[in-house]
Structure 1
C-alpha cells in the first residue's frame, strides 16, 4: 500500500475554530432566544467546524453499508444463521431493506460493500472490496491477521474517497454481518474496560440462556487473544470483524477529508472507538444519530463523549438510525441559511426591556 493507516489518521485535523465561532454568533442573531433550538444549534456549530462553512449544505450524501461474516457464529451466539448475511446484501442491492426505504426518503445513496461476506455475490451494484471470506472463530484464535485488518480499514478509506470524487460530502455508517454484536462487545470491553456483562447485548433477539452463553464466548475470546489496548489494529484483528474494520476506515477517511460522518448504532460505535484510538481528533467529525436498545450502546456513546439525537428504541442496524438523523442535519443547515436575523426581520431582541422582556418574546414565539 502506498499509504498507511497512520498516514490517514495523521491527516485528521482539528475542527475550524473560526467557523465554529462564527456559526455560534450567527445563531445568536437569529429570531429566537439564545440556545432555544437545543441540539440543532450545537449540531449547526459542529457542522460549521467540520466544513469551515457557517452555512454548509449536504446535497449528496451516502450510506456505506459494510457487509461481512463472522466465524464466531459457529458458537450459536445469534438467533439468525450466517446465511442471512449474503441474503441481506442482495436485499440491499435490490432496494428492499429498511435502510433503502429510509435512505430514499432522506435523499441518500446506499453503497453496499462486500468486505468479507462468506459467499460469492455477483451484482452490478455491489462494491466488492472482499478481504477474505469471513473471519475465523475468535475463541479459537485471532479473528483475522493484522494485514487483513489493515486491508479492511483501507477498503473503507478508499470507498469514501471514491464517493467524495463523485460529489458525496456526508457519510452514514451502516453494516450487515450476523454475529457482529458479539465482535463489537469484545471490542468495546477491550477499548473501555467495561465488563462483558454490560457490553454484551441481545443482538438479533436471543433469549436469556443464549445471552449467558454469548457473554462467556466474548470472555473466552478476550482471554485467549489478549488484544493489545495500545494497538487498535491489533484489537480489530484479534476480536473484531471485517465490516467493523471497514467502518473504521470510513470514519477515518471522512474525517481526513473534513466530511461529517453520522454514526448508526452499536456496531458503528465499536468502529468509532477504534477510529478514535487511531486518530483522537476523528471523534469531532462524528455525529451520534441515536441510542439503540443494545445495552452497551449508551455506555459506548459516553466513552466517545457523544450525545445521541434520537431515542427510538431501534436495534436494526444497517444505517437506519443514521439515515433518520439526516433530517435533523438538514434542519440544522436550513436554520442557518434560511432563518431571519433580528436585524433583517426588524424584531426587537428584548435587550432594552431586560431579562423579563426577552423571556416574554421567547414565549410568544414558542
Structure 2
C-alpha cells in the first residue's frame, strides 16, 4: 500500500455534497413514470440518491468494483460465535476460488473483486485476487483492552482508502469512470465487534 499509513488527516476533508438539483429532478422523474407512486419501494430511493451522488438524472452502475476486507476479531475468544476463527481464512480461500455468494454477484455485474487480508489467525498466502496487508493476526479482545492501537486503526482505515483509490485508478486507466464501489467484510465474531461500535455511536446498551 502506498502513502502514509499513520495519517488519517484526510478523514477531515469535506465530503462532496449531493447534487440537490439533480436529486429533485430525479424525484420528479419518478412521479412521471407509469407506475403507482412508491411501487418500487427502496429501489426508487436508491435511484434518486444515486442520481444525486453522480449528478446525473439517469445514474449508471455499469462500472462496479468490489472489495472484501477480511480479519479476525480477538473477542472471538469469549465464545461469542458459533464458528471457529479458522472459518475466516477458509472463507478468504472461498472468495479467491469464486465460490461465495458475492463472487456470483461480481460475475453477474462483470465487476472486479479484490480481497484484502488485514490479518487472520490461520495464515493465508499466495491466493489469486487476495492482497495480503496483515496488520496483526487478529485484534485484541476488547473485553480486556483496546482492540487496536491508534496506529493499527489508522493503518486499517488507510487500507480501505487505498482500495477505493486503486479502483478509481484502474477504471481511469481504461478510460472509464467508476460508478459504484461495494465494500464488504469477513471475520468470525464481526457481529459482536459491530454491535460494540454501534452501541458507542448510538449511545445505547448492546441489549
In the superposition, the TM-score normalised over structure 1's length comes to 0.50
Match in the other structure for 1:178? 188
Q: Which structure dedicates a bigger proportion of its chain to helix?
A: 1
Contact 2:26/2:51 (CA < 8 Å) preserved in 1? yes
Q: How many residues align?
A: 197
Instruction: Name structure 1 gaps, 5 residues minimum.
Output: 198-366
Higher relative contact order (CA 8 A, sep 6+): 2
- Partner secondary structure for residue 53 of structure 1: coil
Aligned equivalent of 1:83, options 66, 82, 86: 86
Cα deviation, residue 34, structure 1: 4.7
Aligned equivalent of 1:152, options 156, 164, 175: 156
What does 1:156-235 correspond to in 2, within 5 Å? 156-167=160-171, 168-197=178-207
Aligned equivalent of 2:66, options 44, 50, 63: 63
Cα deviation, residue 36, structure 1: 4.4
Contact 2:6/2:155 (CA < 8 Å) preserved in 1? no
Aligned equivalent of 2:52, options 40, 49, 53: 49
Name the larger-Rg structure.
Answer: 1
Contact 1:86/1:121 (CA < 8 Å) preserved in 2? no
Q: Output the CA distance in 2 between the equivalents of 1:2 and 1:178.
A: 25
Match in the other structure for 2:107? 104
Cα deviation, residue 154, structure 1: 0.8
Residues 39-81 of structure 1 show CA distances to partners (whole Å, capped at 9, x for unaligned) of 3332221111101111121212122111001112222221111
- Partner secondary structure for residue 64 of structure 1: strand
What do you get for the CA RMSD once the two structures are aligned?
Answer: 2.1
Residues 191-234 of structure 1 show CA distances to partners (whole Å, capped at 9, x for unaligned) of 1122222xxxxxxxxxxxxxxxxxxxxxxxxxxxxxxxxxxxxx
